[in-house]
Structures are given as structure tokens and as C-alpha cells.
Amino acid sequence: MFSGAFSITGGSADPKNNVESVFLPAGFSGPFNVTVAAANINSDGVPNEAPALDQDFALVIYNAVEAADIALGVSNTAVAIDVGARTTLTFGVTNLGPCASDRVLVTNLLPAGLGFVSAAASQGNWTNYENVAVFDLGPMQVDATALIAVEAAGVNTGWWTNTATVFSAAPDLVPINNTVSVAVFVNSAPHISVVPVIEPLEGTPAGPIEFSVWDAETPASALVLLALAADTNPVDPAGIQFSGDETNRTINCHTPA
């Protein structure tokens, strides 16, 4: 049954022709069903198989391509690390169908704030060149899933965006799930100036000793100081006192007599 030049649902049995055509508009995509209803079967079209009256048929599709919805996901969409520390970004690739893909590739572009350390994949192989890791996962059947991981280290402070994208040999008609991003914050460690070495006499207070603290991301007023004594006999930690609440700080030490 037709509406203009294209097929629509409906129609009735054709007693004369044994070849029927279904015409779809150019650019049509997505799953569709073609249902064949038998009528007036009066002979054995498939000998030696029950029932006595039957007929086989073939369904041929031409001028079409097999499509696969390859979805890419990530387990952590935001990461915070210090300069020099490492983090692992883990991705999942799933073929949601309706067809298999002969080859699936994933590229991961590390931003300038991260440096490549290593990678791993549950199938296929990978390469890395100038912070771009390429994973060749090979063929993926419908409902198949692959896992990939990229280990990176913080090298430059600030906010950065890591981007990964999946590509399929079979046309992917759902591109919205082909790319994922991870927000990465690389933090620099707080800084403290050199504290002068002093040798106070027992029972004599030392200080105030001046020094400075600062941090690229945190206001100096929010930095917290902690003092530890390697040997508590000459210096009781309780006798160490800090003063100041901005960049410029002082320290006083009271040694027991």
C-alpha cells in the first residue's frame, strides 16, 4: 500500500504477484518492521517439513547501510588533583545496536594541565602521541561493552577539560552520546618561605621569627599552619605559637627550662 511514492501500513493480499516492494524515503533511519501475512496457501512450498501447506519467502534490503549506536560514558566527570599527583580516567564503550560495528575507535585528548602516564583497554590496542591516546577496540557486536582507562599526572595548575570521543565504522545515528568530558582541577601545593634556624637557650623564648605563606588558589588568610617537633624534649609543641593571618606570619617558641 502506498501514499504517494512511499509505502505505508495496510493493504490487502495480492493474488497475482509473488514479489512485493517496500519503499522508504531517502534518509530514513532507525528500526522498522516489515510484517508478511500469508493468505490462500494451497500447496507445500517447503517439502518434507510440517505443516503440509506452507510457503517460504525471502526479505531483501538494498540501498541501505547497517547502523550502530556506539555510546561512550565516563565514570568520573570531575577530578581534583595536586601538581605531581596522578589520576585515572575510566571510560565505558557500549554498542546499543541495532547492528554490529566492524571497528570502533576512541580518542582521548589530555589537556595541557595533565601529562600522559599510561593506558589500558579490555580489548584491542592503544597508542599515545603528544597527549592524544587512541584506542582501537576492533569489532563490537550488539550489546558488547569495552572498558578503557587513561592514567595522567597533574603538570600545570588551573581548570582543564579532558575530552574523549568514540568513532564507529558503522554509521552512528545517535552522535549525542559519542563524546564525554571530564573537568579537571590541578591544584598547586601551598608555599612557605624559609624559616631561619635559631638556637635558643633552655628556658629562653625564641621569636618572633618572620616568614611568609601563600598559595595560587587559596587566600593566605585561609591557610592553616601546623607545627611538629621532631624531639619534644627540647621543644614542646604546645610551646610553639603562630601569629598573623595573612601572607606575613611569625612564630614564637618557648623551650622548657
Domain assignment of residue 242, given as a range = 191-254
Instruction: End-to-end CA distance of the chain: give it in Å, rounded.
Output: 107
Number of Cβ atoms within 10 Å of the Cβ of 41: 12
- Neighbouring residues of 253: CB distance < 8 A, sequence distance ≥ 6: 198, 200, 205, 206, 207, 209, 235, 239, 240, 241
Whichever domain contains 182, its CATH number is 2.60.40.1530
Residues 181 and 72 in one domain: yes
At 230 the pLDDT is 65
* Mean pLDDT value across residues 128-145: 97
- Residue 241 maps to a domain: yes
Q: Alpha helix locations (H) across 55-97? A: none
Domain boundary among 187, 210, 231: 187
Question: What is the number of structural domains in the chain?
Answer: 2
Confidence category of residue 149, pLDDT binned at 50, 70, 90: very high
Q: pLDDT for 153-186, tens place per residue?
A: 999 999 999 999 999 999 998 999 999 999 999 9
Number of Cβ atoms within 10 Å of the Cβ of 49: 10
Residues 140 and 195 in one domain: no
Instruction: Considering only residues 63 and 253, tell me which one the structure prediction assigns the higher pLDDT.
Output: 253
Which residues partner with 194 through β-bridges? Answer: none
Instruction: State the DSSP code for 221.
Output: G
Residues 130 and 182 in one domain: yes
Q: What residue type is 224 in one-letter code?
A: V
- Residue 61 maps to a domain: no
Residues 110 and 208 in one domain: no
Domain boundary among 170, 187, 204: 187
Residues 217 and 151 in one domain: no
Q: What's the rounded Cα separation, in Å, for the pair 172 and 83?
A: 38
At 194 the pLDDT is 85
Number of Cβ atoms within 10 Å of the Cβ of 219: 10
At 165 the pLDDT is 98
- Residue 114 maps to a domain: yes
Q: Which residues of 220-245 are buried (b: 16+ CB within 10 A; e: fewer)?
A: beebeeeeeeeeeeebeeebbebebe
- State the average pLDDT for the chain: 84
Quick check: helix, strand or coil at residue 99? Answer: coil
Given strand 191-192, what is the order of strands in its sheet? 191-192, 205-214, 248-254, 240-243
Domain boundary among 133, 165, 187: 187
Given strand 78-82, what is the order of strands in its sheet? 78-82, 179-187, 158-168, 101-109, 132-140, 125-129
